[in-house]
Amino acid sequence: MANKNIRSLSSRKELNDNLFENIADLSHKNAPKSDFQELAKRFMIDDSVIAGTASFYDFTRESNRNKKIHVCSGTACMVANTQNKLHQHLENHFDKDEIGHAVCVGRCHTNNAFMFNDNTYSAQNENELNSIIDSKKYQKNIYNIACNTTPILTSKIEDIASFYKLAEVYKNSPQQAIQEIKISNLRGRGGAGFPFWFKLDAVIKEPFDSAQGAQKYIVCNADEGDPGAYSDMYLMEHQPHKVLFGMYLSGLTVGANTGVLYIRGEYPDSIRIVDEAISALKEKNLIGDFKFKIIRGQGSYICGEETALLSSIEGLRPEVRVRPPYPTQYGLYGKPTVLSNVETFANIHWILENGGKAYSALGTKNSTGTKLVSLDSFFNSPGMYEIEMGTPLKTVFDEFGNGLKSEIKAFQIGGPLGGIVPFDKIKDLTLDFESLNSNGFLLGHASVVSIPKDFPMIQFLEHLMEFTADESCGKCYPCRIGSFRGMEMLQKAQHENYKIDRQLFDDLLETLEIGSLCALGGGIPLPVKNALQVF
């Protein structure tokens, strides 16, 4: 009940004077405690709410406010073994306590990655690093981009005005738009694979009373936190209008006039480019009264979980909410909300232009359309590939990745909660939800992180448990304590005379799997079990 009350107090000023943005601004200025207390007074909420939020995020936490540079600590950079040397070189330029970390900055294709001066970089050697620090010159994030089928997400937009004209066709026929999306069988691309039409249908059925100031929202989850994944980043930086159109059309369909993009702070280019695209829409008057708002994330993986993301926008501590109610009934500020990820929204224009049947003709019966696949630096041609669902993974790796630079023993597909797939198993798998699920893995974001032959698997599992312990929202005990205990056991086994009791470890995994509130604690046992089975 307390959260509901705070939520309604936060919503009084809504998005124009947003509580979360206010907290972030004060944190970045390293403002005195009195300024935070003043903010609490202005929003009529307790000081503890502000303190709870400010102390949660990597970029707002008091202990991190003096950080001048953030080294990527993501899985792809870790297995590439580039970051320790990078850290050492940075100590020639910064004091140790001025060097922070960022979980992933979307440069998994080159590694040696860091964030500095509100830009991201890869420095392949010490000279390049020195030049970047001295000049602060912008470095473009370049990688291979290709497609093996009808391009949906990678095709160019010739003219923005005619691109948005399609919305006129569906403006007064929301049910027709929902029907086409239903026929297409577009499933959420954020990892869960939930049918997207169902969210639109649920929100359109929610009553809307403008006299009482009722509101509906469209929220785009652009908090792509899976280390190894940079497909959402690609769309925001190369195809922002596909994402914005999908949100705008969803708003027209369900009766929402506001779209919120929650973009992770580790993607400064994405924030800038999407902002420019929104400005272009306003200038050309292509979206009428529909409003877009960008919220910049402040460094937290759990905000990729939909209910934690909503709490974050509201300025509350981003803890996972118990469901039901689902966001379609009780979403942002307690209002009906269509919440989906970047890639899902980016498909909508093509579906409505070409028809749901044309989309469902691509891919497999249950996994239709295409999927963006992120390949890491161990491939000869790392990059972003739009692949038709159902394509053999071996084809993707050989024909698009052009094979591997060194010997690999396994791949983690789908981020930290995705499965660990042994090298020999790749030939049996196809790129779709069913193939990976039925073999005990997960498609997720379809990000591929290669695990080299000489990288100790126990060290990889320790990294996964440490990641979970660090990124847990702390609301449920199994995740908060269980991940920490798992990390401790794996550390002791490597550095002390300690042998892990298999029964105890299995019990821990079962507790995490069954008892956790969300997929962070509930999903981390999957890659651990895969590794225990094979290695």
CATH 3.40.50.720 for domain 159-355: no
Q: Which two tokens stand for residue 178?
A: 């929902």
Predicted local confidence at residue 208, as pLDDT = 67
For residues 235 and 238, give the distance between their C-alpha atoms in angstroms, rounded to a whole number: 5
For residues 527 and 460, give the distance between their C-alpha atoms in angstroms, rounded to a whole number: 10
Mean pLDDT (whole number) for 257-264: 97
Q: In the CATH hierarchy, which fold is given to the domain comprising 457-534?
A: de novo design (two linked rop proteins) (1.20.1440)
**CA dihedral angle for residue 177, residue 182, residue 184, residue 188, rounded to 10 degrees:** 100
Mean pLDDT (whole number) for 475-485: 93
Per-chain mean pLDDT for the chain = 94
Whether the per-residue pLDDT at 209 is higher than 70: the answer is: no
Whether the per-residue pLDDT at 192 is higher than 90: the answer is: no
Closest by alpha carbon to 373, among 209, 229, 265? 229
* Count of positions (residues) in the chain: 535
Predicted local confidence at residue 47, as pLDDT = 94
Predicted local confidence at residue 213, as pLDDT = 56
Whole-structure pTM value? 0.96
Predicted local confidence at residue 1, as pLDDT = 46
For residues 26 and 32, give the distance between their C-alpha atoms in angstroms, rounded to a whole number: 8
Q: Which two tokens stand for residue 322?
A: 């118990």
Predicted local confidence at residue 6, as pLDDT = 84
Q: Are strands 447-452 and 370-375 parallel, antiparallel or unpaired?
A: parallel
Q: pLDDT of 367-415, one tens digit each?
A: 999 999 999 999 999 999 999 999 999 999 999 999 999 999 999 999 8
Q: In the CATH hierarchy, which fold is given to the domain comprising 370-452?
A: Ubiquitin-like (UB roll) (3.10.20)
Mean pLDDT (whole number) for 251-261: 96
Q: How many CB atoms lie within 10 A of CB 293?
A: 18
